[in-house]
Chains A and B, each alone.
Chain A
Amino acid sequence: MSDAPERYPHDVLVIGAGGAGLRAAIEAADKGASVGLVCKSLLGKAHTVMAEGGMAAALGHVDDRDSWQVHFRDTMVGGKLLNNSRMAELHAKEAPDRVRELELWGAVFDRTRDGRILQRPFGGHTYPRLAHVGDRTGLEMIRTLQDRAVASGIKVYMECTITHLLSRPDRVKGAFGYWRTTGRPVVFPAKSIVLATGGIGRAYQVTSNSWEYSGDGQALAYLAGAELMDMEFVQFHPTGMVWPPGVRGLLVTEAVRGEGGILRNKDGERFMWKYLPEDRRNEYAATDDEASRWVEAQSAGRTTDARRPPELSTRDNVARAIYTEVREGRGSPHGGVFLDISYLPPDHVRRKLPSMYEQFKELADVDITTGPMEVGPTTHYMMGGIRVDAETGATTRPGLYAVGEVSAGMHGANRLGGNSLSDLLVFGQRTGQAAAASATEQAEVPYVDPQAIQTAARELGAPFEAGSAASEDPYRLHEALQATMGTLVGIFRTEDDLDQAIRELTDLRARWDQIRIGGGRAYNPGWGLVYEVRNMLIVSEAVARSAKARRESRGAHSRIDFPDPDPAWAKKNTVARLAGDKMKIATTPLPVLPDELRQLISTE
């Protein structure tokens, strides 16, 4: 094999081709930049494709009382006010334009009776707000963006894994990786780099995430000196499949509850009534009767003065409720609870939730139009990530940007369903624009130090060269990592557990150096897992250390030893950064909330 890697210079290199990466690439190309888009998988297979329920935007098509102000308020309240308020404001204001833009590019959303984009209700949203296509909204979004990107002439590098960012003290200069199909190294010198690599779900065994979600972008940024923020906030989606074991963790869309799905324990009790937070109770129906009037109105496409059912509480709350029911012995036979939509007409269920109908029928032999599903929490989304500037997606390293799930700030301590797809579009557009602008200020494509490339190439090949003393297997390390995170850094946390997790992660990191790999370089998944495990170890350590630092419970972060929110912690974010060869955790004050935005939150 020749030593000299292929080189593909670009103005803007986007790493990750989900919704955020595609939208950023389209915008950067539109601004005249030469854009390269690198993805670990084939184009169009990114995790965005699994998004089901919809994208939140205050279009006001179903309820014209909706506005950006209400969307902003819902987002901040859902995030327990730990959000970057400027990001939440930009998101609420710009999401409608981004949704309409998708339609202009060919997306075909479900329609209202008067022929406009239909919107569905979701947890934590005051009004029906999610533009959607049945329960396959992510597919519609990625296909629309993919077609637009292809028509824009963006160069796409498929099945290519980036393992190293090449950076100098002044600026990030490029990226190094390898073709998965051949194992050959490749270098992308670039004036600006946008990380859009998604989340970290594969650090947990029970997850709704695809294999790609191994914290790559967070780890690359951290190793390049950028800061990670809010890493303790991992969203456990309340409803994943729990049976059969082969599909444990697979997502059951929140749209089931948005369409009227009722949660019950083994005694038939509608337990969510018990778990509504006192200060928000007036936003929810008071009785079964009021909740069913709300469902009837939704199904018929009417507005109503009935308030929403208790199942549409925020995800953090519903996940804790289900976990608690199961722990206290009121769970379903396979360790979940029951979610029932079968009281609605079968045709309606099949039309509104076609993928769910198929998924349960084909994978669990359950007909959701005639009986309940069994569901339980599953690792779903990372609120934390790379610290970015609200307006531009710039990280704390010059030339390096981050957007989408890999970034932090927009969602605070808990993300509302539907706010992710709109986040990808709003900040994808902004980041693509900023990355292109920054690239035009650079005279030429950066010089990449051949020494740095050689070092990266040597590190990449090390697991093949390891001596016989090295005997660790990446699959075993991955399993051990998942066991640590699942048992010690799950929904409910304690200081002792987190200390134990940090010790185990340190031990696993030492074992990682002893990995040895067999086989060739071409499409070798064991080899690919080596660098993914490195990345997962870094982000897992950040999760555990940040969770230990935050001695309170807020949003998705629940400490048994500190069960209440602490007003002092309401004003700061945790930050993890590399100092020498150690991870350092600090706090940073939350950006100041301007008075006019503060008033939006306190009204009502």
Chain B
Amino acid sequence: MAEAHLSVFRGTPDAPGTFVEFDVPVEEGMVVLDALHWIQANEAPDLAVRWNCKAAKCGSCSAEVNGRPSLTCKTRLSDFEDGETITVEPMRAFPLIRDLVTDVSWNYEVNKRIPPFQPPADKPQESWRWQQEDIERVQEFRKCIECFLCQDVCHVLRNHETERPFMGPRFLVRSAGLEMHPIDTADRTAHLKDEGGIGYCNITKCCTEVCPEHIKITDNAIIPLKERVADKYYDPIQMAWRKLTGKGSADGGQADSGAPVFPGRPERTAPADTETAGKTAPAPPAGDASTNGDPD
């Protein structure tokens, strides 16, 4: 194809946005981000686009391309049909700053509150020996480039399905990377259950589907974490023990814990093309009932 036809969202939080059409000359191998750069250099010098590396390593250029959360630096123009309009709009889950740029600062606030890495006090570093096969799972989680596409696609965040804190897939992956670190000693189950709101995830795997690093977010990170939380808080023997002794109850659901609740993006109309079951709490999958629903 000699030209690509792009329809690009332009707007600010103060006014309804519009889609503006551009015809962009195409060179072999061009990606959507190249087309946006061409538009900036030739048609719209002030088109707001966030990007850094153009090599799928920094996770800055996230947007929704024909409705699919994507890295624009990795989405090739040749993947579209000749004459097909390529629609580019900002991530819907986050508040708009301008054009294709959204305010993702909420993610950084959530991250700050995760209990940090804590090596053992009594095991000197010289003695650490880890086998490669034992760290590969953690290395998978640490591949995350923080593009926040998983946060964008997650229906709990996207549709603002809870007014309670929910950290979203990205920070469940980060928590998993810490929890499964070979020598970390901190216990994050209370944090995951309460501030993390892990129970809200009903494992639809949308996050895994959009991950550009191919991290198996749901299977490898979230489900094992849910099991840890369930073992700790919903195991009947442990529950009885806590009742008897009054110990070990991290007392979930501190409503005023100060954890940042996802602000959502009320100013734009609800997306028409999302395929969620609405705002009712999704049915918990069998065998996982204890970790679903409200953490209270």
Binding site for B on A (CB under 8 A): 41-47, 49-50, 100, 103-106, 108, 110-111, 114-116, 118, 133-134, 136, 138-140, 143, 147-148, 150-151, 156, 158, 181, 210-212, 243-247, 250-251, 355, 358-359, 362-364, 473-475, 479, 517-520, 522-527
Is B101 touching A523 in the complex (CB atoms < 8 A)? yes
In the assembled complex, the Cα of A263 lies from the Cα of B29 at a distance in Å of: 24
Stretch at the interface among B54-62, B161-169, B197-205, B215-223: B54-62
Name the CB-closest residue of B to A43: B108
* B269 contacts the other chain (CB 8 A): no
Q: Within 8 Å CB of A104, what residues of B?
A: 119, 125
Q: Is the CB of A133 within 8 A of B59?
A: no
Nearest B-chain residue to A363, judged by Cβ:
B29
A518 near B45 with CB under 8 A, answer yes
Q: B138 in the interface, Cβ–Cβ < 8 Å?
A: yes
Q: Does B279 contact A (CB under 8 A)?
A: no
Cβ-defined contact, A246 with B135, below 8 A? no
Cβ of B39 to closest chain A Cβ, rounded Å: 11
Given known contacts A150-B112, A210-B52, A522-B12, is B29 in contact with A133 (CB within 8 Å)? no
Q: A245-B27, A475-B45 are in contact. Are A522 and B97 (CB under 8 A)?
A: yes
> Are A524 and B58 also in contact (CB < 8 A) when A104-B119, A181-B97 are?
no
Instruction: Let me know if B129 and A116 touch, CB within 8 A.
Output: yes
Beta-carbon contact of B98 and A523 below 8 Å:
yes
Expressed in whole angstroms, the minimum distance between the Cβ of B218 and any Cβ of chain A is 21
A-B contact pairs, 24 of them (CB 8 A): A41-B50, A41-B60, A43-B108, A46-B52, A50-B55, A103-B128, A104-B125, A105-B117, A111-B130, A111-B131, A115-B130, A118-B132, A156-B108, A181-B97, A210-B58, A212-B52, A246-B28, A246-B30, A251-B55, A362-B76, A363-B31, A522-B12, A522-B98, A526-B46
A147 to B142, CA, bound (A): 12
Given A41-B60, A42-B60, A245-B30, 5 more pairs with CB closer than 8 A:
A136-B143, A210-B58, A251-B55, A364-B29, A525-B48
State how many angstroms separate the Cβ of A449 from the closest Cβ of chain B.
32
Q: Roughly how many angstroms separate A50 CA and B145 CA in the complex, as a whole number?
A: 11
| Distance of A50 Cα from B54 Cα, bound (Å) | 10
CB distance B41 to A475 under 8 Å? yes
With contacts A43-B108, A108-B142 known, is A49 near B57, CB below 8 A?
A: yes
Q: How far is the CA of A392 from the CA of B112 in the complex (A)?
A: 31
Shortest beta-carbon distance from A547 to chain B in Å: 28
Could you tell me the distance between the alpha carbons of A42 and B97 in the complex, rounded to whole angstroms? 14
* A249–B47 alpha-carbon span in the complex (Å): 24
Q: How far is it, in angstroms, between the C-alpha of A527 and the C-alpha of B132 when the chains are bound? A: 48
Q: Which residues on the B side are within 8 Å of A100 (C-beta)?
A: 125
Neighbouring B residues of A358 by C-beta, 8 Å: 56
Chain B 116-152, CB-CB to A under 8 Å as 1, else 0, gives 1101000001001111100100110011011000000
Question: In the complex, are the beta carbons of B28 and A245 less than 8 A apart?
Answer: yes
Contacts of B112 in A (CB 8 A): 150
Do the beta carbons of A363 and B76 come within 8 Å of each other?
A: yes
Closest Cβ neighbor of B107 among chain A residues: A42
Question: Complex formed: what's the CA distance from A114 to B111 in Å?
Answer: 34
Interface positions of B from 35 to 82, Cβ below 8 Å from A: 40-42, 45-60, 74, 76
> Given that A139-B145, A520-B46 are known contacts, is A50 also in contact with B116, CB under 8 Å in the complex?
no
CA A140 – CA B57 in complex, angstroms?
A: 11
Q: How far is the CB of A460 from chain B (nearest CB, A)?
A: 16
B34 at the binding interface (Cβ < 8 Å):
yes
A250 to B45, CA, bound (A): 24
B145 touches A49 (CB 8 A): yes
Assess whether B60 is in contact with A45, with CB atoms less than 8 Å apart. yes
Once A181-B97, A244-B28 are accepted as A-B contacts, the answer to whether A525 and B40 lie under 8 Å apart by CB is yes
Q: In the complex, what residues of B have CB within 8 A of residue A47's CB?
A: 52-53
B residues within 8 A CB of A116?
A: 129
Among A106, A251, A524, which residue has its beta carbon within 8 angstroms of that of B181? A106
Per-residue contact bits, chain B 2-28, to A (CB 8 Å; 1 contact, 0 not): 000000000010000000000000011
State the 9 A-B residue pairs at the shortest beta-carbon distance, nearest first.
A244-B29, A519-B46, A115-B129, A526-B45, A106-B117, A523-B48, A246-B29, A246-B30, A475-B41
> Quick check: A136 and B48 within 8 Å, CB to CB?
no
Select from chain A the residue with minimum beta-carbon distance to B178.
A106
List of A residues within 8 angstroms of B145 by Cβ:
49, 139
A359 touching B45 in the complex, CB below 8 Å, given contacts A42-B60, A114-B129, A246-B30? no
The yes or no answer to B99 lying at the interface (CB within 8 A) is yes
**Residues from chain A with Cβ under 8 Å of B146 in the complex:** 44-45
Q: Does B239 contact A (CB under 8 A)?
A: no
In the complex, are the beta carbons of A41 and B52 less than 8 A apart?
yes
- Which of A49, A118, A362 is packed against the most chain B CB atoms within 10 Å? A49
How far is A148 from B139 in the complex, measured between Cα atoms in Å? 18
Judged by a CB distance under 8 angstroms, whether B230 is at the interface is no
Tell me the interface secondary structure of chain B in the complex: loop
Q: Which residues of A contact B76 (CB under 8 A)?
A: 362-363
From residue B74, how far is it (CB to closest CB) to chain A in Å? 6
**A523–B45 contact, CB under 8 A?**
no
Please measure, in the bound complex, the distance between the C-alpha atom of A517 and the C-alpha atom of B40, giving whole angstroms: 13
Q: With a CB–CB cut-off of 8 A, which chain A residues contact B74?
A: 362-363
- Assembly CA distance A103 to B129 (angstroms): 12
- List chain B residues, Cβ under 8 A from A108: 130, 135, 138-139, 142, 181-182
On whether A211 and B51 interact (CB within 8 A), knowing A108-B142, A526-B40, the answer reads yes
Q: Which A residues touch B49, using CB under 8 A?
A: 525
| Contact in complex: A473, B58 (CB < 8 Å) | no
Chain A CB within 8 A of B104 CB: yes
- For B182, list chain A residues within 8 Å (CB): 108
Query: Which of chain A's residues have a CB closer than 8 A to the CB of B51?
Result: 211
Which chain A positions have C-beta within 8 A of B55?
Answer: 50, 247, 250-251, 359
CA distance A520 to B128 in the complex (A): 55
Do A527 and B46 touch across chains, with their CB atoms under 8 A apart? yes
Q: How far is the CB of A216 from chain B (nearest CB, A)?
A: 14
- Tell which of A103, A110, A519, A525 has the most Cβ of chain B within 10 Å: A525
B59 — which chain A residues lie within 8 A by C-beta?
45
With both chains docked as a complex, state the minimum distance between the C-beta of A53 and any C-beta of chain B, in angstroms: 13
Return chain A residues, CB-CB under 8 Å to B129. 114-116
Whether A519 contacts B108 in the complex (CB less than 8 A), given A108-B181, A526-B40, comes out as: no
**Whole-angstrom distance from the CB of B253 to the nearest CB of chain A?**
26
A211 to B40, CA, bound (A): 14
**Residue in B closest to A355 when the chains form the complex, CB atoms:** B57
Residues of A within 8 A of B46 (CB): 517-520, 524-527
Q: How far is the CA of A341 from the CA of B20 in the complex (A)?
A: 45
Contacts of B117 in A (CB 8 A): 105-106, 147
Tell whether, in the assembled complex, residue A523 and residue B99 are in contact, meaning their CB atoms are under 8 Å apart: yes
Q: Which residues on B sit within 8 Å (CB–CB) of A251?
A: 55
User: Nearest Cβ in chain A — how far from B55, in angstroms?
Assistant: 5
State A62–B273 Cα separation when bound (angstroms): 54
Residue of A50, A518, A520 touching B57 (CB-CB under 8 A): A50
B28 x A211 contact (CB < 8 A) = no
Minimum Cβ distance to chain B for residue A179 (Å): 11
CA distance A524 to B45 in the complex (A): 8
B97 near A49 with CB under 8 A, answer no
Contact A147 B116 (CB under 8 A): yes
Give Cα A103–Cα B56 distance, bound, in whole angstroms.
Answer: 25
Looking at A50, A111, A151, the one whose CB has the most chain B CB atoms below 10 A away is A111
Given A45-B58, A523-B98: A246 touches B45 (CB 8 Å cut-off):
no
Cβ of B78 to closest chain A Cβ, rounded Å: 9
Chain A: minimal CB distance from B211 (Å) = 12
Q: Note all chain B residues with C-beta closer than 8 A to A212.
A: 52
Given A105-B117, A147-B117, A523-B97, are A245 and B29 neighbors across the interface (CB < 8 Å)? yes
C-alpha spacing A520/B101, complex, angstroms: 15
Complex Cα distance, B49 from A245, in Å, reads 21
Determine how close the nearest CB of chain A comes to the CB of B29; give it in whole angstroms: 2
Contacts of B139 in A (CB 8 A): 108, 133-134
